[in-house]
């Protein structure tokens, strides 16, 4: 990302986020082993009412500058009986919207057609394994893998812009090239790769170590050059990898980076599946967003968080406006100012990356500490890396 573009983005994020995620409900008929929200079958007491949802949407519309994109998530946002009303109100306020439903019996062609007619075009659903054994073991429902592929094909045919979310953990890291092949086959254009943070039920699942995380980022950089739009969640060091690789676009990566076995296996699998053809010289620039920096999360009860993976309440939209919490909260202003501790605070890429604040908190109890998944920190393997210019 060019310096002037980065400066403009970070300046805008001082007052207004790029994305607002609203956890409309905790209710979901799935019981995924890695669920951040520890979702359950019934909604919890204290969920924002329809009118309070309208108020939240109005608060978003009144933020300065261009209004953020509002993503309705959960739990399962389709468990909200008033979802269409809420989306309709957002569209009346000229807010761009996306939905992130669960693949359940609620996700039907009729329901999707209703949302399409309301102006919804962006949908994201999760696919966390390359086959039924791997995906269904996480979702806890036999046959869910096939239902997910069927849902993607249905929504593709209806004209939706599809995003697939994949959570990377130790158990599925080597399946990523095969998952990529599935996405290409269905016509998915956006792949958002979540790097597991051990919160909620996900605390019982093993995250990838720093060396594997780095290898995965290099594989994702290769993927981005094939034309797939790749984004990461809780892995902002992916942007650092992209920036480093731009300097050596036409050279042997191994002469500059200590790539490991995970990268070798993923890269070989990618080539074997015929996925390595370049459509770009390098991956497109990604937004310099992070926890509390261009992103804010509103819980089912109105509590505001820097992200859905960072369980520190910064205020509640029932008492304060989302805009004032985002702009004025001391923790968020510290995050946006890059006032980080440890090696993250000294890193030349701290403005572009900034580390996962959620993972730092989950591992150390300190939001501003080092991101332990990054190889440049004291918890990762120390290797020589080219510095920023």
Q: Is 240 helix (H, G, I), strand (E, B) or coil?
A: helix
pLDDT of 356 higher than 90 = yes
Do residues 87 and 110 touch, judged by C-beta distance below 8 A?
no
List the one residue out of 262, 260, 282, 281 whose CA is nearest residue 270.
Answer: 262
Alpha helices in the chain (DSSP H): 3-12, 50-61, 83-92, 109-117, 132-139, 144-158, 176-186, 210-225, 237-246, 261-272, 322-328, 330-337, 342-346, 357-364
For CA atoms 251, 257, 262, 264, the dihedral sign is positive
Class of the CATH-defined domain 3-290: alpha beta
What is the 8-class DSSP label of residue 292? T
pLDDT digits (tens, 9 = 90+) for 346-355: 999 999 999 9
What's the pLDDT band for 12 if we cut at 50, 70, 90? confident
Confidence at residue 383, expressed as pLDDT on a 0 to 100 scale: 40
Q: How far apart are CA 99 and CA 283, in angstroms?
A: 26
pLDDT of 380 higher than 70 = no
Entry pTM: 0.92
Q: How far apart are CA 128 and CA 108, in angstroms?
A: 21
Q: What average pLDDT score do residues 357-372 get? A: 94
List the one residue out of 232, 244, 239, 246 whose CA is nearest residue 280.
Answer: 246
pLDDT of 136 higher than 60 = yes
Confidence at residue 1, expressed as pLDDT on a 0 to 100 scale: 58
Confidence at residue 249, expressed as pLDDT on a 0 to 100 scale: 66
Give the pairing of strands 304-305 and 97-99. Answer: unpaired
pLDDT of 387 higher than 50 = no
Tell me the percentage of the chain whose pLDDT exceeds 70. 93
List the one residue out of 43, 45, 53, 105 whose CA is nearest residue 74.
Answer: 43
Q: How far apart are CA 188 and CA 227, in angstroms?
A: 11
pLDDT digits (tens, 9 = 90+) for 278-304: 877 666 667 889 999 999 999 999 999
210 or 206, higher pLDDT:
210
List the one residue out of 97, 167, 142 whose CA is nearest residue 308.
Answer: 167
Burial class for 300, CB neighbours closer than 10 Å (0-12, 13-18, 19+): buried
Q: What average pLDDT score do residues 334-347 get? A: 93
Q: Is 323 helix (H, G, I), strand (E, B) or coil?
A: helix
Burial class for 250, CB neighbours closer than 10 Å (0-12, 13-18, 19+): exposed
pLDDT digits (tens, 9 = 90+) for 53-76: 999 999 999 999 999 999 999 999
pLDDT of 180 higher than 70 = yes
């Amino acid at each position: 990302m060019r310096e002037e573009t980065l400066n403009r983005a970070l300046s805008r994020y001082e007052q207004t986020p790029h994305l607002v995620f609203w956890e409309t409900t905790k209710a979901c008929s799935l019981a995924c082993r890695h669920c951040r929200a520890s979702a359950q079958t019934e909604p919890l007491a204290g969920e924002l009412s329809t009118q309070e949802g309208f108020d939240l949407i109005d608060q978003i519309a009144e933020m300065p500058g261009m209004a953020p994109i509002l993503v309705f998530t959960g739990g399962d946002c389709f468990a909200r009986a008033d979802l269409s009303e809420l989306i309709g109100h957002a569209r009346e306020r000229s807010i761009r919207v996306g939905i992130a439903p669960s693949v359940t019996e609620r996700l039907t062609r009729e329901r999707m057609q209703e949302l399409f007619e309301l102006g919804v075009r962006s949908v994201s659903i999760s696919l966390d394994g390359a086959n039924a054994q791997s995906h269904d073991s996480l979702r806890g429902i036999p046959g869910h893998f096939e239902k997910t592929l069927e849902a993607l094909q249905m929504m593709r045919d209806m004209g939706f812009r599809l995003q697939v979310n994949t959570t990377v953990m130790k158990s599925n890291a080597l399946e990523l090239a095969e998952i990529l092949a599935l996405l290409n086959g269905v016509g998915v254009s956006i792949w958002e790769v979540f790097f597991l943070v051990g919160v909620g039920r996900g605390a019982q699942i093993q995250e990838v170590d720093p060396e594997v995380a780095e290898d995965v980022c290099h594989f994702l950089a290769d993927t981005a050059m094939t034309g797939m739009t790749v984004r990461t969640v809780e892995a902002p060091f992916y942007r650092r990898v992209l920036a480093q690789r731009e300097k050596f676009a036409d050279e042997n990566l191994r002469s500059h980076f200590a790539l490991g076995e995970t990268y070798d296996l993923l890269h070989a699998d990618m080539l074997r599946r015929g996925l390595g053809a370049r459509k770009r010289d390098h991956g497109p620039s990604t937004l310099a967003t992070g926890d509390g920096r261009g992103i804010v999360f509103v819980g089912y009860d109105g509590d505001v968080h820097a992200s859905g993976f960072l369980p520190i309440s910064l205020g509640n939209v029932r008492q304060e406006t989302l805009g004032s919490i985002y702009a004025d909260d001391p923790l968020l202003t510290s995050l946006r100012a890059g006032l980080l501790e440890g090696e993250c605070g000294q890193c030349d890429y701290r403005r572009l990356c900034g580390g996962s604040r959620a993972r730092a908190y989950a591992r150390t109890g300190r939001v501003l500490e080092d991101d332990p998944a990054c190889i440049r920190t004291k918890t990762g393997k120390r290797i020589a890396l080219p510095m920023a210019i």
